[in-house]
């Protein structure tokens, strides 16, 4: 099929590269970055799958106008941003106020596609893959195209993670498709597009409203697992238990309880999707006057878990200051997860901000974000992002003697001349 992607950023570009193995894909973006990637064949983010497809000569290409998009495509995907304000990113405490996502860019993109389709008198199926809150399509988007006979509307958000976008696109647990069953043409076109890539049982059709809720419910479910695992880590830290033994056992209860993914003590949930989605759902809870703001409680729990990990580093720094007057805290990591340089919604940055809020002397360094760095003075090193580099002997052997390494992930090996604190696990030093 002939498809197009509107919004070729960190989601739209690698997804289009993956789909171009099966379909004739073009893209359009107001930013020149997308065209630069096409010409240079260099993907600027840590996304190995995307770079591999570029190296293999992907046929995905960027066009310079919406008219060219409509002339080419029968199915048009919109993956523009639906941003939240920076105060809702999850790197600082959640404000007392809440807010919905900003849908202005999404509305503009939909209007431009619909207008071009009408001008060309050509029917297109528009598939929105940007994240929205439940009720958004009916309130914000569908009224824009209600009288346009040339547009079908589908909501099909994706379940991907940065650095594995291509792999997640090609191997989804399921494909979520929010449709209007009365729109037979739109339904058949998305069936044909996704059916060329995935088995029929992978396709989950439901109403648009249900799909909106399903998308954010998925993200919330992952955050719940992380929150539970971190609560177990904190209990284990106080009682002498080993949280990994507990979560490894729970992960075996795949019939009634859980799977092993995301079920391990470490830093609080992070990233460009989960924290902001949950904060936005807290806003929706207030707007709908729900009986309990479960999502607000989750965000406050995330902050409390970051405070707990910060307190472990603070206690170690205070103890070390009995020997040395100056013993700073160094947060290792800024990225929101290992193997990426993206810092949106990073719990490592949240932790650093909480330490600074307490008046602690602290810095942060990330090998994927910052220039190379050496550490000269003994410090408390807090492994906030579990980059593989932080556990490599080539890095740990250069840490100053008498330092303390606080590891909430439980992965750090013993280091000669240093104390290693594995939070919620057996300790060595």
pTM across the whole model: 0.73
* Secondary-structure class of domain 2-207 per CATH: alpha beta
Successive 10-residue mean pLDDT values, the chain, 429 residues:
97 98 98 97 94 97 97 98 84 84 96 97 97 94 96 97 94 96 95 97 95 91 85 84 92 78 82 86 87 85 92 93 85 96 94 91 94 94 97 96 96 95 71
CA angle (159 as vertex; 156, 164 as ends), nearest 5: 130
What integer pLDDT is reported at residue 428 of this predicted model?
Answer: 35
What integer pLDDT is reported at residue 201 of this predicted model?
Answer: 95
CB 102 within 8 A of CB 52: no
Report the alpha-carbon distance of residue 303 to residue 89 in Å, rounded: 12
The C-alpha R_g of the chain, in whole angstroms, comes to 24
Q: Where are the domains of the chain?
A: 2-207, 300-422
Q: Which of 337, 141, 134 is nearest to 216 (CA)?
A: 134
8-state DSSP, 428? B
The superfamily CATH assigns to domain 300-422 is NAD(P)-binding Rossmann-like Domain (3.40.50.720)
Element spanning 243, H or E: helix 243-250
> Residue 25's beta-bridge partner residues?
3
Report the alpha-carbon distance of residue 300 to residue 419 in Å, rounded: 31
Q: In CATH terms, are 2-207 and 300-422 the same topology?
A: yes
What integer pLDDT is reported at residue 416 of this predicted model?
Answer: 94
Q: Which tokens belong to 337? A: 């997860």
Is the alpha carbon torsion for 111, 112, 113, 115 positive or negative? positive
Q: Which tokens belong to 98? A: 């809440």
What integer pLDDT is reported at residue 257 of this predicted model?
Answer: 66
Q: Are strands 24-28 and 2-6 parallel, antiparallel or unpaired?
A: parallel
CB 179 within 8 A of CB 186: yes
């Amino acid at each position: 099929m002939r498809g197009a992607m509107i919004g070729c950023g960190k989601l739209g570009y690698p997804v289009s590269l993956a789909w171009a193995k099966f379909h004739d894909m073009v893209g359009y973006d107001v930013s020149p970055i997308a065209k630069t990637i096409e010409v240079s064949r260099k993907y600027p983010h840590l996304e190995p799958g995307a770079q591999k497809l570029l190296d293999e000569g992907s046929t995905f290409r960027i066009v310079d106008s919406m008219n060219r998009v409509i002339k080419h495509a029968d199915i048009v995907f919109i993956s523009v941003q639906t941003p939240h304000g920076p105060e809702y990113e999850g790197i600082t405490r959640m404000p007392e106020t809440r807010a919905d996502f900003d849908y202005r860019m999404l509305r503009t993109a939909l209007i431009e596609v619909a207008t071009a389709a009408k001008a060309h008198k050509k029917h297109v199926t528009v598939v929105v893959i940007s994240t929205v809150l439940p009720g958004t399509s009916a309130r914000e988007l569908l009224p824009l195209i209600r009288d346009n006979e040339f547009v079908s509307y589908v909501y099909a958000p994706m379940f991907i993670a940065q650095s594995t976008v291509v792999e997640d696109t090609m191997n989804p647990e399921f494909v979520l498709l929010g449709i209007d069953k009365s729109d037979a043409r739109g339904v058949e076109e998305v069936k044909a597009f996704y059916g060329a890539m995935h088995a029929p049982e992978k396709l989950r059709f439901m109403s648009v409203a249900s799909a909106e809720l399903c998308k954010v419910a998925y993200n919330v479910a992952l955050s719940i697992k992380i929150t539970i695992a971190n609560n177990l880590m904190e209990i284990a830290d106080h009682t002498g238990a080993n949280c990994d033994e507990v979560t490894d056992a729970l992960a075996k209860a795949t019939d009634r309880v859980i799977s092993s993914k995301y079920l391990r003590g470490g830093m609080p949930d992070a990233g460009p999707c989960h924290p902001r989605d949950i904060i936005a759902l807290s806003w929706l809870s207030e707007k709908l006057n729900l009986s309990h703001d479960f999502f607000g409680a989750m965000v406050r729990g995330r902050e409390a878990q970051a405070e707990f990990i910060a307190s472990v580093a603070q206690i170690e720094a205070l103890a070390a200051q009995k020997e040395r007057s100056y013993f700073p805290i160094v947060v290792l990591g800024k990225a929101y997860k290992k193997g990426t340089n993206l810092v949106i919604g990073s719990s490592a940055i949240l932790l650093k901000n909480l330490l600074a809020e307490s008046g602690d002397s602290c810095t942060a360094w990330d090998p994927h974000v910052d220039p190379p760095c050496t550490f000269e003075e003994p410090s408390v090193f807090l492994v906030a992002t579990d980059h593989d580099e932080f556990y490599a002997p080539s890095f740990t052997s250069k840490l100053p003697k008498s330092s303390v390494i606080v590891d909430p992930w439980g992965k750090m090996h013993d280091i000669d001349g240093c104390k290693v604190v594995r939070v919620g696990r057996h300790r060595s030093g």
